Structure 1
Amino acid sequence: MEFTLDLKQDLKLILTQEMKLSLNVLEMSVNDLEKFILKEKELNPLIEVDFSNKFNKKSSNDDEDFSPLELAHKEESLIDYLEEQLGYLSLSKNLKFLCSYIINNLDKRGYLPLSKKEIKNFTGFSLKDTEEALKIVKNFEPIGICASNLEECLIIQLHKKNINDMILENLIKYFLIELSEGKNKEICRKLKISEEKLKEYLDEIRKLNPIPARGFYMGDNINFIIPEAEIKKVGEKYIVSILEENLPKIKIKSIKNEENRNFYNSAINLINFIEKRRETLKNILELILEKQYDFFSKKDGKLKKFTSKEAAEILNLHQSTISRAIKNKYILSDKGILRIKDLFVLNGLKEEICELIEEVILNEDREKPYTDQYISEYLENKGISIARRTVAKYREELGIKPTSKRRIKGI
């Protein structure tokens, strides 16, 4: 009885490990999966990787010695550079882990897309430790790394240069859009500065680097988006075509003795997981195409309400599986390269409301910014009934600060 019970527990553990690897493969982008395959090749002597289709089609490099490993190395160089700086510091095990977690979650620009609360929830560490880790990484080179957005990135660089000018910071925080639109006179009026002073500020801003990761893995030949599939017209209808050539092909060497059996099984599992990833993604995309057919087939087609929850129910998958399958993945279409996630629409009315909220706030007087209650009443006058709490929720989702944080002080 005890032997049977132990045996079942062992089998359950093995299945859990396989399922975890399968889910990890499902979640990987093309670039991440390619790097994962390369690492598996180093560990497994039976795996051979064929890049001929991928690089014959995509690479413009004429050097016969060109290797795909060069791309993987360059893409990882920023993380290596930051991890190296981290290694010089004498930190507690918890802080070192948190710093490494933050570094490995930076996006392609070098920004951190996670909030303090999300990092705290994902890692289980305290908010105090999380804030300390963020402070540490933000002091690393290149300056501006780990910022949450463009405004913070530029202000970090100002502080590193010992420039503490509140008017300049407010110009960056609240008027970058107006600056890009050339509304200089309006900016001068609101900030109560001369056009000559504004020109000085502009010269200072132009010296700052909006993409701190540039020079590491942001090169034109490295940091390109690789679409997973294409939605294209064939004859009279649109179809989904998985772009098989965007991934290297895996081949398995023959087994010479039983000692290689584990390596062989591991290689077979990897191929099966990649095939399952392809099938899951294709099923999701075919369903998206069915639900959003007008968007792809008509020049002025609009996306309709269709959620990942609905897709999960139709395909008999868990909603988290849908989220993993579409994470950081793109498709090619007549309308350009599209992020798959954006093809799901939670609520068409919500999108319209968010656009109105953003438009109202962008046109407000920064000395007297609108309250959520005012925006609620403004929308009510336009025939859209929405509570103040809902306005606040949508505003936060848009990344717009509350009234008190948008108000310009000391000007």
Structure 2
Amino acid sequence: MLGFQLVQEGRIRLSITPEMKQSIHLLTLSGQELARYLQEAADENPVLELEEPFTLRPRLPRRLNQERFSSYDPLLQMKGAEPTLEQLLISQLRLQNLPPAMEKTAVYLAGCVNEDGYLTMELTEVVSARGISMPEAEAAMDILQSLDPPGVGARNLRECLLLQIRRDPFANQHAEHMVEEGLEELVRFHPGRAGTRLGITSQQAQAAYDYIACLDPKPCRSIGCTERAHYIIPDAVVQIRNGELSLRLNSAVVPRVSLNEACCRWIREIDADEVWSGRAAEARAIIRSVRMRRRTLMRVLAAIMTEQESFLREGPAGLKPLNLAIIAEVIGMHESTVSRAVNGKYVQTPHGVFELKAFFASGLETMNGEMASAPAVKLRLKELIRSERAERPYSDSQLTALLANEGIVISRRTVAKYREELQILPSLERKRWA
């Protein structure tokens, strides 16, 4: 028979308050995201007040009259949106005085060109969609392929290369024949075999191959606007001044937050209800969370830059292996807190703007017992390949031996992996035979 009884039990449970959740959330935000968050919070809560970050007025050239340009607006100096590839092609077609029917078909084909410059629609589909004959579609395609840049409107890589070769008055005399023979022969190129097949010398085959390698397989990838530009505003600035580390947060990104004194005074005088008291408490919690975020971010940044001080002095070659556990131990925080502080943050250094995650690199053990970071090994690998002889490039095994002579213990597979990440071809494809 089932029954009911009261049982007293002691239990400890870890809970997280709403303010702690808010602090954790603000720590994960970048400077720009935090500015948007605070702006939205200030729009909803009149007790919270924002002070716009101070921005320097742009400096005008000395030769300009300051009084004349007193109403200088920096927004008027911004670059306008670039035309798309389709618009650029259509503007060229308008200048050719084509028959109306032919121009409409060519404009239709211009809209079927992808961002790399290739025609993505079959001519049979164009014939069906436009209600024209195949000769008319081919004539419109020829007009499209005569536009700039050379290679636009091609249906495959082979046709793209041939269009560029045929429109180049200084093209190599054997390059067209080599491409027509087949692109698969260019992957494993050998000048002797290629010269025998084409009936030319190995030197002529090598010259034709070098010319083909200079052609652009994606002729339109840098033309027109396909996406909006992505601007990075660093969250902190790190410098070396008089031999000492100087670190500051970028105050131009995050606005200052404070309480609206007039609103707070009004709440105290009228003994406001729970709604207004709750808004005041919410505003104070946001201010505390912003201050806590600033302190945590400064501690994490200082610890990272102290560990990577050799990077600030020597550049990427001085980058040392580092992980979250080391920074967490230095500042006395949990690894998850360090991970949130690092996520999405950028820092401006004497060597450029870097994401904070870039300073956490894996390491390889050297013969003297020290550790070398993976980016530093990649940089050294790139330098070795750059200094090799074109006719006798280093194989992955030889690169492994060269790095071992410098005290870097690394396997051939890891060398091949780093080489592929650096987008460097294998030794056989880097070799120049003549």
TM range (shorter): 0.5 to 0.7
Identify the residue that residue 263 of structure 1 maps to in structure 2: 279
> What CA distance in whole angstroms lies between the structure 2 residues aligned with 1:211 and 1:237?
45
Identify the residue that residue 323 of structure 1 maps to in structure 2: 339
AA partner of residue 252 (structure 1): L
> What CA distance in whole angstroms lies between the structure 2 residues aligned with 1:306 and 1:209?
37
1:232·1:333 contact (CA, 8 Å) conserved in 2?
A: no
Identify the residue that residue 23 of structure 1 maps to in structure 2: 24
Residue 208 of structure 1 and its aligned partner are, at CA, apart by 2.5
2:236·2:247 contact (CA, 8 Å) conserved in 1?
A: no
Residue 251 of structure 1 and its aligned partner are, at CA, apart by 2.9
Identify the residue that residue 228 of structure 1 maps to in structure 2: 236
Residue 395 of structure 1 and its aligned partner are, at CA, apart by 4.6
Residue 38 of structure 1 and its aligned partner are, at CA, apart by 2.0
1:288-323 Cα distance to aligned partner (Å, 9 max, x none): 343344554689994444443211111122223223
Identify the residue that residue 222 of structure 2 maps to in structure 1: 209
> What CA distance in whole angstroms lies between the structure 1 residues aligned with 2:394 and 2:332?
45
Number of paired residues?
297
2:117·2:218 contact (CA, 8 Å) conserved in 1?
A: no
Unaligned runs of 5+ in 2: 61-68, 82-111, 121-152, 162-182, 188-203, 364-371
Give the greater-gyration-radius structure (CA): 2
Matches within 5 A, 1:350-389: 350-358=374-382, 376=400, 379-380=403-404, 384-389=408-413
AA partner of residue 50 (structure 1): E
Question: Given the alignment of the two structures, is residue 238 of structure 1 paired with residue 249 of structure 2, yes or no?
Answer: no
2:318·2:376 contact (CA, 8 Å) conserved in 1?
A: no
Residue 353 of structure 1 and its aligned partner are, at CA, apart by 3.2
Q: Hey, which of these two has a bigger chunk of helix by percent?
A: 1
Question: Given the alignment of the two structures, is residue 158 of structure 1 paired with residue 118 of structure 2, yes or no?
Answer: yes
Residue 248 of structure 1 and its aligned partner are, at CA, apart by 0.9
AA partner of residue 226 (structure 1): P
Structure 2 length as normaliser, TM-score? 0.50
2:30·2:235 contact (CA, 8 Å) conserved in 1?
A: no
> What CA distance in whole angstroms lies between the structure 2 residues aligned with 1:391 and 1:307?
22
1:326-352 Cα distance to aligned partner (Å, 9 max, x none): 233333455554443444454325334
Q: CA RMSD in A?
A: 5.4
> What CA distance in whole angstroms lies between the structure 2 residues aligned with 1:57 and 1:388?
55
> What CA distance in whole angstroms lies between the structure 1 residues aligned with 2:25 and 2:44?
18
Question: Given the alignment of the two structures, is residue 36 of structure 1 paired with residue 75 of structure 2, yes or no?
Answer: no
Residue 37 of structure 1 and its aligned partner are, at CA, apart by 1.7
After superposition, the Cα gap between the structure-2 partners of 1:190 and 1:284, relative to the gap in structure 1 and judged at 3 Å, is farther
> What CA distance in whole angstroms lies between the structure 2 residues aligned with 1:402 and 1:316?
45
Identify the residue that residue 309 of structure 1 maps to in structure 2: 325
Matches within 5 A, 1:56-205: 56=56, 158=118, 160=120, 163-165=155-157, 192-193=208-209, 195=211, 201-202=215-216, 205=218
2:319·2:375 contact (CA, 8 Å) conserved in 1?
A: no
Question: Given the alignment of the two structures, is residue 391 of structure 1 paired with residue 421 of structure 2, yes or no?
Answer: no
AA partner of residue 55 (structure 2): F
2:47·2:259 contact (CA, 8 Å) conserved in 1?
A: yes
2:258 aligns to what SS in structure 1? Answer: strand
> What CA distance in whole angstroms lies between the structure 1 residues aligned with 2:236 and 2:340?
14
After superposition, the Cα gap between the structure-2 partners of 1:194 and 1:224, relative to the gap in structure 1 and judged at 3 Å, is closer
1:246 aligns to what SS in structure 2? Answer: coil
Structure 1 length as normaliser, TM-score? 0.53
1:363-389 Cα distance to aligned partner (Å, 9 max, x none): 9999x9987666545655766442244
Residue 287 of structure 1 and its aligned partner are, at CA, apart by 2.2
AA partner of residue 158 (structure 1): Y
Q: Which moved more, 1:381-390 or 1:247-256?
A: 381-390
> What CA distance in whole angstroms lies between the structure 2 residues aligned with 1:211 and 1:284?
41
AA partner of residue 44 (structure 2): L
After superposition, the Cα gap between the structure-2 partners of 1:361 and 1:323, relative to the gap in structure 1 and judged at 3 Å, is farther
Residue 30 of structure 1 and its aligned partner are, at CA, apart by 1.4
2:235·2:346 contact (CA, 8 Å) conserved in 1?
A: yes
> What CA distance in whole angstroms lies between the structure 2 residues aligned with 1:360 and 1:301?
14
Unaligned runs of 5+ in 1: 72-76, 78-140, 145-155, 175-187
Residue 361 of structure 1 and its aligned partner are, at CA, apart by 6.8
> What CA distance in whole angstroms lies between the structure 1 residues aligned with 2:378 and 2:326?
23
